[in-house]
Structure 1
Amino acid sequence: MRVYISADMEGVTGLVDSQDVQLGGGEYEYGRAMMTEDVNAAVRGALAAGAEYVLVNDSHMTMRNLLPDRIHPEAVLQRGKPKRHGMVEGLDGSYDAMLCIGYHARAGRLGVLSHSYMGHEIEDMWLDGRPTGEFGFAHAVAAAHGVPVVAVSGDDAACAEAAEWEPRISRAVVKHAKDRFAARLVPPAEARKAIEEACAEGVRAAAGGARPADQAVGADGRAVELAVRWQNASVASQLTAVPGVSLRDDRTVVVHGTAPDLFALFGVFMRVASNLTNQHPYC
């Protein structure tokens, strides 16, 4: 069994504020330690369920958040950027299962630190007309490769959103959203136990033959439509210089392709937006 872990930060146990998850934030070093322990719980669960190889992709911001000397010794850590496929770098059909750890709800939902990639600049995203955020896009890429997404951890809003994309997914709720920067926390030991159990359950399901549903967005490498509504009309205007990108309205761009190709292209979109707005992704 080969297991792929995409590790984000906003949905990590105990973290509720931008100061917890951004480089230079007052609680960022604490956040890194908490993120590392959540990931280690996921690795333990995967190994307990029979995983023979576990790749952890650091998927947040600089992608240099996880503490390498404290990561489970049986996991392989992938960190740093740029990565052509960002949060799903290295994911392909050789993996038997994908786990999404520390994920958060999409822009427009009331969840802890909810956003879609760039907190101020991206208002909405859609895949084949379905509102999507980071989980939905990752799910589509996994479906294109035939890899089931079998477990997720995050706040209650993130876990509910994940279940809309993959009803069979095992969920570990580590906090309950009270507002965008407030939550009722699950005690860390209890949260890590839930993550470990959800990941073990998910990997066992994959070992039993779980696969992405045929109707999943992007399944089997089918072409899909990505639409992104930006806060800034300048971003949308400039992106039309990219071949295949068109405008739906002054602030919404549309492009078609396979989910993995669109994910790579979306990374270019974000670099253009960061340049134009002089704003780093999220917060």
Structure 2
Amino acid sequence: MRIHISADMEGITGLVGADDVQPGGRDYERGRSMMAEDVNAAVRGAVAAGATDIVVNDAHGPMRNLLPEALHPAARLIRGRPKQMGMLEGLTREHDAMICVGYHARAGALGVLSHSFMGHEIEDMWLDGRPVGEIGLAQATAATLGVPLVALTGDDAACAEATAWDDSITTVPVKYAHDRFAAELRPAAEARQAIEEAVTAALSAVPEAPLVPANPRTLTVRWQSASVASTLLGIPGVTTPDSRTAEAHGELPALYRLFGVWMRVAASLGNQPPYC
């Protein structure tokens, strides 16, 4: 059984603020250690379920958060950037299931460190007219490859978003949002045990023939800056329904890869901290 783990950081056990998840932050080194522990719990759960090939993609920020020596030896690590598929780098049709560790709610939701990919710069996103963030876009892209997203960990808002998108996803809330930078924390040992057990259970019930959604899809992104949408018009196939919104119609996962290009364009046009 081949498993892909996409590991973000905002939804990791115990983390609630920018200093926990941004390089240079006063608690970042502790945060990356906490991240490794959550990921390792998922790896242990996958091994217990019979996984023989596990790849972990470091999907947060600089994508150099997980220290290779801190990762469970049963997993291989994809580290660094740029990556053509960003948070889903390394995911292929050959994988039997995907697990998302440390994910967070989309922009506009009241969840811990909630945003969609780029902090303030992305105000909202839609997939076929349905509000979407990192969770929904990951699930839809993986499903198009025939790979089910079977388990997700994060705060309770992220878990609710995941099950609203696909109610078959097993979720593990490791904290309960009180606001965007405040949460009631689940004890770390309890959270890691829950992650391990949930992953084992989810992988023991992977569907043999997962439902593959129809293609093509329409991705719509509303940016904070009109200059981003205007610049993206230079990419063939991009339209702008209004001055701050870019839209494209195409097939996943190619549309996900195109969105990665959009983000690199947006990053070149502005330099805003993601959580201020």
TM-score past 0.5 threshold: yes
Q: Measure how far apart 1:100 and its partner are.
A: 0.4
What amino acid maps onto 2:269 in structure 1? L
Query: Percent identity at matched positions?
Result: 62
Q: Secondary structure at the match of 2:190?
A: helix
Q: Measure how far apart 1:210 and its partner are.
A: 6.0
Partner of 1:263: 256
Where in structure 1 do 4 or more consecutive aligned residues deviate above 4 Å?
280-283
Q: Take 2:252 and 2:26, find their aligned partners in 1: how far apart are those partners?
A: 36
Partner of 2:53: 53
Q: Secondary structure at the match of 1:259?
A: coil
Q: Measure how far apart 1:174 and its partner are.
A: 0.1
Q: Take 2:67 and 2:177, find their aligned partners in 1: how far apart are those partners?
A: 27
Q: Take 1:281 and 1:246, find their aligned partners in 2: how far apart are those partners?
A: 26
Partner of 1:84: 84
* TM-score, normalising length: structure 1: 0.95
Partner of 1:126: 126
Q: Secondary structure at the match of 2:91?
A: coil
Is contact 1:41-1:193 (8 Å) kept? yes
User: Please, which of 237, 242, 246 is the counterpart of residue 244 of structure 1?
Assistant: 237
* 273-282 or 13-22, which deviates more: 273-282
Alignment root-mean-square deviation, CA: 1.2
Q: Which runs of 5+ in 2 are unaligned?
A: none
Q: Measure how far apart 1:279 and its partner are.
A: 3.2
| Pair 1:31-2:24 in alignment | no
Q: Which runs of 5+ in 1 are unaligned?
A: none
Is contact 2:113-2:275 (8 Å) kept? no
* TM-score, normalising length: structure 2: 0.97
Q: Secondary structure at the match of 1:205?
A: coil
Quickly say closer, same or farther: Cα 1:83–1:280, change in 2 above 3 A.
farther
1:79-124 Cα deviation digits (max 9, x unpaired): 0000000000111110000000000000000000000001110000
Q: Take 2:60 and 2:271, find their aligned partners in 1: how far apart are those partners?
A: 19
What amino acid maps onto 2:261 in structure 1? V
Q: Measure how far apart 1:259 and its partner are.
A: 1.8
Q: Measure how far apart 1:280 and its partner are.
A: 5.7
Is contact 1:61-1:281 (8 Å) kept? no
Q: Take 2:99 and 2:199, find their aligned partners in 1: how far apart are those partners?
A: 7
Q: Secondary structure at the match of 1:176?
A: strand
Q: Measure how far apart 1:270 and its partner are.
A: 1.0
Alignment of 1:1-283 (within 5 A): 1-206=1-206, 209=208, 211=210, 213-214=211-212, 219=213, 222-279=215-272
What amino acid maps onto 1:259 in structure 2? L
Q: Take 2:52 and 2:19, find their aligned partners in 1: how far apart are those partners?
A: 36
Q: Take 2:67 and 2:191, find their aligned partners in 1: how far apart are those partners?
A: 19
1:60-83 Cα deviation digits (max 9, x unpaired): 000000121010001011100000
What amino acid maps onto 1:183 in structure 2? A
What amino acid maps onto 1:182 in structure 2? A
User: How many residues matched?
Assistant: 276
What amino acid maps onto 2:142 in structure 1? A
Q: Take 1:44 and 1:209, find their aligned partners in 2: how far apart are those partners?
A: 22
